[in-house]
Structure 1
Amino acid sequence: MENYDLERIKSVIQRAQSGQELTIGFLGGSITQGSLATEHENTYAYRVYKWWCDTFPQAKFNYVNGGIGGTDSYYGVSRAVTDVLMYQPDFVVVDFSVNDVDNIYCEETFEGVLRKLLCWSSRPAVVVLNNVFYDTGVSTQDIHNRLADHYGVPHVSVHDTIYRRMKAGEYNRIDITPDGLHPNDKGHGLVAGEITKFLERIMDDLIQDENLTDDSNTDAADAGADTENDIQDESACSCVLPAPVTANAYEYAKRLTIREICPKLSGFRADTHEKMGHLDHFKNGWIGENAGDSIIFELEGNCIGIQYRKTISRPAVRAQAVLDGDVEHPVLLDGNFDEDWGDCLYIEPVLHHGEKKKHTLEITVLDDESVGTTPFYLMSIIVA
């Protein structure tokens, strides 16, 4: 099946066949979260999870959905552990193909996502999903698939299947995606179908392989024992991957919130509201309301991004960031969001492949007409 390394997926299928408990995970943007599905059970992610449950009723499956709308692989690589990997998944579908269109660092950040997933201690089987803008056919599929091929990770393309069938007249765009991006119930079903068809082909390959082997019960029992030992040994050993394609500065990216760092506050205050799950976005951060409010971080790394809220509740407070005292080149942090679909979890890179050392980052609320309106909400600092 092309040049994919399917051993991890085959291992998950074999463990499901033997009745083990497994965790099925998903990491991505709004389509993964389930935007425009009438209920979560109709999303592509839940339908793929349900395929595992229905196909292997003897096994027990856990479901983890780490989809967050409007987010790309820059954010994804920094939250992969807290939103998916900490649950020790055995199988992960990852998709940032449409949101990475606007991510200028997408090749490097997506490679970081892949490497982080593949090297996690549970050694999950990974499948890259590529969604698409249905009106234009645009996505970052070529970039993502080139990276996936480098690591032998299989990929499923909406562009090469559903989109092409739509262009050929099999579907009307409006019947599968009202806004040209997010699938409706029917569209989610089609996306799930492409993933499950791929998994079924792997199952067929496994059956053919088994038919070619000696059907001796003794040999089969021995083979089963060896397989179990191999799985245990594999999860215990260190991960060996090919050399990265990019500079790969983001593989170990992490988010710093009030839980991880204590910056110097002068006017800014820590948000005291409790965060309720990974979709409760604007919590665990810092709030600045008045002109001159400032917050100072001491950070170490060579890549730094500022994650803050851009809000539709305009006008909103604006701030500026100064890195390492370079007041001649401040970075504007505008809390106003020009779209209307909701508040944005925006990331402003302020250092990319800089010197790896201790850096000082100061963020200050500006003295302009926005003061006194929607406060500035600083979600996190992302460092790599």
Structure 2
Amino acid sequence: MQGTSEPHLDFESQAYREFISKSLLNKGHNARLKRAIEKTKRGEPVTIAYIGGSITQGAGAEPIHTNCYAYRSFGLFRNMFASTSNVPLRFIKAGLGGTPSELGIIRYDRDVLREGTILPDIVIVEFAVNDADDETQGTCYESLVLKALGADNDPAVILLFSVFENDWNLQDRLAPVGWHYNLPMVSVKDAVVDQFQLTPEDGRIISREQFFHDIYHPSNAGHHIMADCLSWLFDITNHSDLDKESHVIDKPPLIGNEFVDVKLLDRLNEDSVAHIEVGGFGRTDTDLQMAEMDDDPFGTPHFPNNWMHKGKRESGDGSFKMILRSKRLILVYKDSGSNEFGIANIRVDGKLVRIADPSQINWTHCHAMLLFDEKHAREHTIEIDMAEGHEDKWFTILGFGYVN
């Protein structure tokens, strides 16, 4: 927690401005971001969207919905460029704790684009401390970036690199994607880590204890700094000449783009996508991972249109069977700290391919698991049943991400 004997933070000093300026990893091609800024100045509708993990959700900020970096930076953007308070700016926040871009790309259409009803002008992507759990080692991250970039309205996509208390993030893996497409990039790590080693007399702006709420998440002061890092990019872009050369994003991917077209499959659209026999997975789980969306102070349950097995005595012992034409498939299942939940076996075309253990993470959490990744689409049969000795346990299939 934030220390009580630390020096006061002067957010207006020249030293603080120089500290914040170190976060600008790459200005990137500025045409898309300048277009959003100019729209705001003209009083036109502009939407800024944020997708990421728990830091984007606002963890560590109190209150979470107004002191998180996302809401703060949205407010700074408004203050910088909107001529009046009546300019129609929209704030979309889609952070979900403990989840990588492997799940983020499945959530993108639902949680950011709101099923095609919203086209953000700016998208900020924050997965630098979550993507250790991305089984595709960056392919889903690059696919998510390309999915955002490829929208019909050509939004600005900003890559944001947060950091853990132990100075770790995945910037070395993810920033090359930004360099590859010449995107704006903001590194909180570059701003804060080196100066943590200094004394206040030697130029330290903020201590590690002040910046972090816990080992993973920023304090209110940390969220304030993250927002200021983004506003520095906004300001630099605003005062820079327009980049007039073509911004080329149609090029071979750096890591991979195989998941750009991933779609969510759940109870809402199952009949139009796959043939499913629910077997003993006919219940619906309502005890789900929650996240504060947009500027809401309350949590929204994620993946409510699920399939739940609630033990053999209550749900029966039949397996969940799905026939689907696809070349790539990600299972999303529920982790839980409850000992009511048990292990499930996942078979594809009769072969055991994965074992899903909801107790590995040990809290109510959405877990993405890659089942197959092939070059060509073909019909597959997916079967999920409880492992031997776990027939009376519970298991929740939250949904699937599939690529045709």
The answer to whether the superposition gives a TM-score over 0.5 is yes
Verify: 1:47 aligned to 2:68, yes or no.
no
Contact 1:74–1:106, Cα closer than 8 Å, also in 2: no
Work out whether 1:251 is the aligned partner of 2:260: yes
Q: Deviations over 1:98-133 (max 9, x none)?
A: 110232313110110011000112321111000112
TM-score (norm 2): 0.80
SS state at 1:356 partner: strand
Identify which range, 358-367 or 329-338, moves more after superposition: 329-338
2:77 touches 2:234 (CA, 8 Å); kept in 1? no
Do residues 155 (structure 1) and 164 (structure 2) align?
Answer: no
Shift of 1:315: 4.1
CA contact (8 A) 2:27 2:185 kept: no
Q: What is the aligned partner in structure 2 of residue 345 from structure 1?
A: 366
Residue 8 of structure 2: aligned partner? none
Shift in alpha-carbon separation, 1:157–1:272, aligned structure 2, 3 A: closer
Structure whose residues are more often helix by fraction: 1
Query: What is the match of residue 138 of structure 2?
Result: 107
Number of the residue aligned with 2:379: 358
User: Once the two structures are superposed, what CA deviation does each residue of 1:75-105 show, in whole Å capped at 9, x if it has no partner?
Assistant: 1111111111232111111111111023231
| CA distance, structure 2, for counterparts of residue 114 and residue 95 of structure 1 | 11
Report the 3-state secondary structure (helix = DSSP H, G, I; strand = E; otherwise coil) of the residue aligned with 2:146.
helix
SS of alignment partner, residue 264 of structure 2: strand
Structure 2 residues not aligned, in runs of 5+: 1-23, 294-299
Return the letter of the residue paired with 2:145: L
Count matched residues. 348
* Cross-structure match for 2:110: 82
Identify the residue that residue 144 of structure 1 maps to in structure 2: 174
Q: Match for 2:355 among 329, 332, 337? A: 332
Secondary structure of the 1:52 match is helix
CA contact (8 A) 2:51 2:124 kept: yes
Q: Is it true that 1:267 corresponds to 2:280 in the alignment? A: yes
Measure the CA separation in 2 of the matches of 1:77 and 1:156: 21
Unaligned ranges ≥5, structure 1: 210-226, 228-233
Tell me the percent identity: 25
Given that 2:102 and 2:135 are in contact with CA atoms closer than 8 Å, whether structure 1 keeps it comes out as no
Q: After superposition, what is the alpha-carbon deviation per residue over 1:239-284, rounded to whole angstroms, capped at 9, x for unaligned? A: 9622222342111111210012141121210528699997312510
* CA displacement at 1:163 relative to structure 2: 2.1
Partner of 2:338: 313
In the alignment, the residues of structure 2 paired with residue 165 and residue 273 of structure 1 have an alpha-carbon distance, to the nearest angstrom, of 45
Name the counterpart of 1:61: 89
TM-score, normalization: structure 1? 0.84
Describe the superposition over 1:122-151 as per-residue Cα deviations: whole angstroms up to 9, x where unpaired. 32111100011221x221112211011111
State whether residues 337 and 343 of structure 1, in contact with CA within 8 Å, keep that contact through their aligned partners in structure 2: no
Counterpart CA distance in 1 for 2:123 and 2:388 is 46
RMSD: 2.5
Q: Give the corresponding residue for 2:17.
A: none
Could you give the per-residue CA deviations for residues 147-169 of structure 1, whole angstroms, max 9, x where no partner exists? 11111111100111122222334
Q: Deviation string for 1:176-201 (max 9, x for gaps)?
A: 11322211111000111111011111
Tell me if the contact between 2:334 and 2:398 (Cα under 8 Å) persists in the aligned partners: yes
* Native 8 Å contact 2:27 2:237 kept in 1: no
Q: Does 2:36 correspond to 1:12?
A: yes
Which of 49, 69, 79 aligns to 1:25? It is 49
Letter in 2 for 1:336: S
**Residue aligned with 1:353, SS:** strand
Aligned equivalents of 2:207, 2:157: Cα separation in 1: 31
Letter paired with 1:102: D
Structure 2: distance between partners of 1:127 and 1:95: 9
Contact 1:309-1:344 within 8 A present in 2 as well:
yes
Higher relative contact order (CA closer than 8 Å, sequence separation 6+): 2
